[in-house]
Amino acid sequence: MPGYVTDSLSVGYRFKPFSFLKSPTLKMNFQNLTGAVVRTGPVGIATNATQGQLLDGTTLAAGSGAQFYVLPRFSMTEQFPRISKAIIKRPPRTNLSHTPVCGTGQQWPFWHGVQNAAGIECRFTLVVEMNKLERIVEHDAGARAVRRCEELGCEPYSDMRGGLFRPYLGAAHKAAMATLRGWMHDAGMSVRTDPAGTVIGRYEGAEANAPALLIGSHIDSVWNGGFYDGALGVMLGVECVAAFASRSIRLPFALEVVAFGDEEGSRFPLSMLGSRAMAGKAEGDVSQMRDRTGATLHEAMRDAGLDVGRMGEARRNRQDIIAYLEAHIEQGPVLEHADAPLAAVSAIAGIQRFYICVQGQAGHAGTVPLSMRHDALAAACEMVLGIEALARTHVDDFVATVGKIEARPGAVNVIPGSASLSVEIRSADAQCLERAFLQVKDLVGGIAGRRHVGWEVQDHQTFAPAPCDGRLVDLLRSGIRAEGMPEHVLVSGAGMMP
């Protein structure tokens, strides 16, 4: 296609899931632009030698050239209207399947030296549509699920710029709920929102009102959260239903895709509100819980068209549910290290979470001899190292983490009089979890005694381990084997729903 020119070009490119962990930065060269507007997406970084960083919406001068360096983490789009001429180039090695589509719908290959409306040197899926906005056509369900997770990572589905923050019943969460309902409907589901704000899509079985297999996760996010955390499990559930619906297959049971609105607790002080309500484990009157702005849960739910007084009605009867299945990112390095894409989960780790408060004696840093000090921070530091050493001797039983430590009064010339440290212990075995808690208490007591400081445990919370159903685990393992993938079984240490 030498010499082909178009008035408008959109370039979309996506990566094999998680290949960005090992991919280099992409470089794209555009020369002789007659006018261009940069659209970089959520984490795109666009620069050139003369203009520095090009923010979203920057217009390049007519006749200028530009280089764009884009971090290869998520889908991004650059729209370059009225580009006069450029050359498409592609490295010989790529880890993507390419099906470029021109404006007339005709498929065509692209190779070194092919001339078209833009010059690009990167690994990408190219779509050219004359005088239209970009429309990526996915050729498999996994690509569409990943793309939708990425789409939900940007405004209006995020309440922060340059990252993802989607708190329960905030503006971004409401927008995500509306879009998700549309995707569920398009996949062949009837859609409703339960009294706790959980979006539920249902695909009936061969018989109406049959018990359901629940598939899903959460769609809320912590501050600057990951695009795939929670959302991927929901999107894969939608794709699962879409695959059956497109073939008019009805199962002996119904399929329900659930998208919990609150799992992270990133807005109100109590987490997992949606799953607690569905499981019938509500925490009493939570209507007056307040977020950072002072808004109550009652007000937030009212503004979303929900009634906090009816949250208990979200409870599901056990006989109406045959199982719950959740696909989730590992949030750890084990599978990547093993070069394995999947693992079956045998259990969800339980948690012992508490604070150790150490009481010493404050004093002047220059006048109190070391032999006469009761340094709370020094004692706390020894406790941290002791807890780590204890966990290292029981690596097959539990993990332990001290994630936060504070010292008071916090002056450079004052011996700390008090200190506190957070401790979290996780294990898939309830007895190991309890035993580890007692061992930590013994260790802390010994250090406090030798250093002549006081101590106590505060804000102790316990979340019991949840073993997964062995039959489902075996089915997942056999499915992994059937796909020719290495078989791995892991304990999920990332937490659980009630």
pLDDT in tens, 380-411: 999 999 999 999 999 889 999 999 999 999 99
- CA R_g for the chain: 27
Are 254 and 203 in contact by the 8 Å Cβ rule? The answer is yes
Q: Which helix (H) or strand (E) holds 334?
A: helix 334-337
- On whether the CB atoms of residues 144 and 138 are closer than 8 A, the answer is yes
- The second-level CATH assignment, the architecture, of 141-329 is 3-Layer(aba) Sandwich (3.40)
Confidence of residue 198 (pLDDT cuts 50, 70, 90): very high
Residue-wise pLDDT tens digits, 97-141: 333 332 322 222 322 222 333 433 322 222 222 222 223 334 478
Per mean pLDDT, which range of 78-87, 152-161, 210-219 is the poorest?
A: 78-87
Name the residue ranges covered by the structural domains of the chain.
10-116, 141-329, 350-464
Structure tokens at 455: 């101590």
The three-class DSSP label of residue 232 is helix
- pLDDT range class, residue 493, cuts 50, 70, 90: confident
Residue pLDDT, tens place only, 270-289: 888 999 999 998 777 889 99
Q: CA 369, CA 451: separation in Å to the nearest integer?
A: 14
Distance CA 237, CA 217 (A): 9
Q: Is the pLDDT of residue 10 over 80?
A: no
Q: How many residues does the chain have?
A: 498
CB atoms within 10 A of CB 91: 9
More confident residue, 156 or 87: 156
pLDDT of 155: 87
- C-alpha atoms less than 13 angstroms from C-alpha of 262 in its C-beta half-sphere: 26
Residue bearing tokens 């991927």: 232
Strand partners, 347: 467, 491
Task: List beta partners, residue 363.
Answer: 415
Q: Domain 350-464: which topology? A: Alpha-Beta Plaits (3.30.70)
d(CA 37, CA 83) in angstroms, rounded, equals 11
Q: For residue 450, what pLDDT is reported?
A: 96
